[in-house]
Chains A and B, each alone.
Chain A
């Protein structure tokens, strides 16, 4: 409370010195009280607002100075007493009269927007009054709010053409900002008393829960946007609602400009005509990507507004789409951007970056001292020198914005040195704001590639103006939001450098938001993995205990019962731990929808994309891995699968192609299906090409089944596309799909019917950490083979085994002759069964690659946790990792694909 008291006392002292009602002095008085709004104890909030209101009335001249002055000082005195009492007492809560209506922050945002146009457009003031009256009409309004609203109303009235009061516009701005702060204050006091010593900082306003919720809204927005093009009016409304919601969030987090942009975007969205819809959605999607990135950054702790600058550009493009009504409005809010242009000399930039922070620090320190003692000449000089040095070294690099800004700040300090202004109140804030912006500019220099340029946020020029005004002793005008300073600190550093590719692809956004509305806790993935590891250990240790002879054969029924209870708990714990890694497929599917849309635009093939089962959950790591294969499949479907509209019409199909994505669980696997209703795979074409490229020989070609032929498209270098397009057709895509999926221990299947379409089915394990394994024995060693890789197992008959000259051992299986590999020989082990008819053959590999692997015995089937063998064994062919078995011993997990490859290459020589 000490700070509050001190500042209140200062204000009282200041008030006492007022001899006559000079408006400027009173204005200063008001703004000094304003900054207190967010930190005074909650119960005196109303009193403070009342005082500000009275002062405002005096400025406006609606109350005479001589009458009101005594009352004002009395009010202030009372207030100070109340605050003093807080020294001993527990600060009171805000009486829960009525929380501010939820849409108030949006109203205020609208008001702020209108206020900017007020001077040029008299209708704006009228609009503001309407809003203000509506707010005033709300029942049960908090007294502080009511007071703030009424003073705004009075100011507006004075500002109207009838009133023509010269002080009015300024008062409108002031009272608006008062209102804003009160609302913020009330909104954030959800019962707990926020009146800490430091007041409300921006960090407190951005809360992770809201962020997560907003990120979800962003996803909804994307979905709605994608649906919008189908003339879905609901989707349009939904999208607008999402934009407004997000705008509200930004407002709340003090990113006012971002909020404004989003609101305008929502307006534009509503008025988009059919003809502009497609391009409009393009821009809105771009906006959405940007927003997603921005929110993601916020979530990871960044506080900069990386959004507004670029978003404003997009918004302008969007508004240009509209025939007339909106454009002037859109353009008005976007002054021509200034640029920060970096020179080519990297060394010089390095030098600058090395010394600039020093100057900034010295200024910062001096300013801090000046806050206590505004007239101290030493500190004034110090601050002046700091700015001057900064100007000098920036001038050397021709960094104009830095030079201009430090020059303007220098002038302000010059004025202070000469006693023309006192570096207190708004002037002081201005100096600090200049410093903050300089800091950000230096950061921006650091973040911008050499020789490139970067646009500056539009408020930059406003700040310059205000500094210049300040230096001449004029009132510098209020910083638009002094306390929270969301705007002044906007994102010089975070803005994108010009010339960088404007690629906001989804892959950068790695954050996954769970689809649930539960409250969320942020936990690092590392911790999560450690927990899961530990649970894995627990499971192993448990099973080792359970296999202990004394335990397994115990006759103690209580022990047995407790053990079975323990088993249940551990199983549940394991499931919970595994569940923590799971995320839904939703965002992946949405990305695919977006991709399909982009592809459709580019290739000119109209298509309907739909997805189902997006709530299907899958391991977090898998989600990232599955992205690329899906991209290939979607591209493939659009590029090769779907026919052109004319062709489709000829075939009697609906003109718009259809692509469906589906996800579901099936027996411990996650299945993702991608289906198109295109031309299907050209079986004959593939076969011919495969023969031509010597992937199969002609004899084999005759024997292959249709499905087997279709699988050939997974061979690297085989692609049916006659044309090579920008996006696919180089014949590597399908190979990537198969390899990635198999690397994840999954499988891809194709089912295609000529003329009807193609269905790709990807089957993946639920998680990467656990596999369902077949435990086999060879000699005295146990190995684990992923069950999914084993097609069948059988005990060969003597007559099934042949040694084919030139091909080594082969085994005939249902008329097919496939190579037989012996695991013991592959691994150079002794003591295994020598006669294949005593051992077991496991059939593995794909159609064209099918082979049998000989092992001594199958021990059983069980789920094992995969562990890495460490870097030393990382490149061991045929071995995927290790698993700790129930006995505590390590069994190696085989990688069937690698194993077969190794075996083949060995045979081949």
Chain B
């Protein structure tokens, strides 16, 4: 566990308590700080943006403003599956920038006290846990509390634009002469 995680731990307990919107991805339950959530909208037609990693579903028109939508399932390396009637988009506010995240189902708003939140367990250095603020407990359930601002790291955001297309052309290479 690196220092980053330690810093994270220090924050837990003081800032993490509060209300969380919980949602599910596959069999996992996640929580989002309610203050980050702007609205929840039903799934609408998403315009695909080419040459983006698969987890970027595209863009939607949110009352005239165009916002990007990412698919958390794909972002977290889970298997893609078809959208259902319960699939919806949570619009979150990332420091003034709106972004939609596609989740399988929105469950409820949970009030988590200081004692309901535990540090992120040590998964070993191979697993990146920066975007998990802590683990929430509610009865028997364990909820992963996301720091949504860290889900898309700066590096990722800037590299999005420079993504090279995955497929290759079979044409031979020769510099253009024109």
Contact = CB atoms under 8 A, between A and B. Distances in A.
B67 A870 contact: yes
A697 B45 CA distance: 49
B166 interface: yes
Interface string B157-174: 100111001110101111
A807 B175 CA distance: 8
A576 B174 CA distance: 52
A872 B99 CA distance: 10
Interface stretch (B14-22, B47-55, B81-89): B47-55
A326 interface: no
Contacts of A878: 50
Contact of A906 (B160, B169, B174): B169
B161 A827 contact: no
B132 interface: no
A891 B166 CA distance: 23
Interface string A868-909: 111111111111001010001111100000000000101111
B177 A697 contact: yes
Interface in B122-178: 157, 160-162, 165-167, 169, 171-178
Contact of A806 (B52, B64, B174): B174
A2 interface: no
A528 interface: no
A142 B49 CA distance: 75
B10 interface: no
B107 interface: no
A892 B176 contact: no
Nearest to A851: B178
B64 A540 contact: yes
B178 A848 contact: yes
B171 to A, nearest CB: 4
B160 A828 contact: no
Summarize B's interface: helix, strand, loop or mixed. loop
A116 to B, nearest CB: 58
A714 to B, nearest CB: 14
B47 A889 contact: yes
Interface residues on A, range: 35 or more
B59 interface: yes
A869 B98 CA distance: 11
Contacts of B60: 890
A907 B169 contact: yes
A878 B161 CA distance: 11
Among B50, B51, B59, B175, residue most surrounded by chain A Cβ atoms (within 10 Å): B50
B66 interface: yes
Nearest to A883: B66
A537 interface: yes
A809 B172 CA distance: 11
A210 interface: no
Given A828-B166, A870-B97, A906-B165, A882 B66 contact: yes
A754 interface: no
B178 A849 contact: yes
Contact of A828 (B162, B167, B177): B167
A829 interface: yes
Among B49, B60, B65, B67, residue most surrounded by chain A Cβ atoms (within 10 Å): B49
B45 A889 contact: yes
A700 interface: yes
A724 interface: no
Contacts of B175: 908-909
Interface string B54-93: 0000111101111110000000000000000000000000
Contacts of A809: 171
A697 B175 CA distance: 13
Contact of B47 (A697, A874, A890): A890
A809 B170 CA distance: 11
A807 B174 contact: yes
Contacts of B176: 807, 819, 904, 907-908
A826 B168 CA distance: 10
Contacts of B172: 805-806, 808
Interface of B: 45, 47-52, 58-61, 63-68, 97, 99, 157, 160-162, 165-167, 169, 171-178
Q: Which 10 A-B pairs have the closest CB atoms?
A: A827-B50, A875-B161, A909-B173, A537-B64, A808-B171, A890-B47, A806-B174, A882-B66, A884-B61, A890-B61
23 contacts: A540-B64, A806-B174, A807-B174, A825-B169, A826-B50, A828-B50, A828-B51, A828-B165, A828-B166, A848-B178, A867-B64, A869-B66, A871-B157, A872-B157, A874-B161, A875-B161, A875-B162, A889-B45, A892-B47, A904-B176, A906-B169, A907-B171, A909-B173
Given A536-B64, A872-B157, A907-B176, 13 more contacts: A696-B178, A700-B178, A826-B165, A828-B51, A869-B49, A870-B68, A873-B49, A876-B51, A882-B59, A882-B66, A892-B49, A892-B50, A909-B175
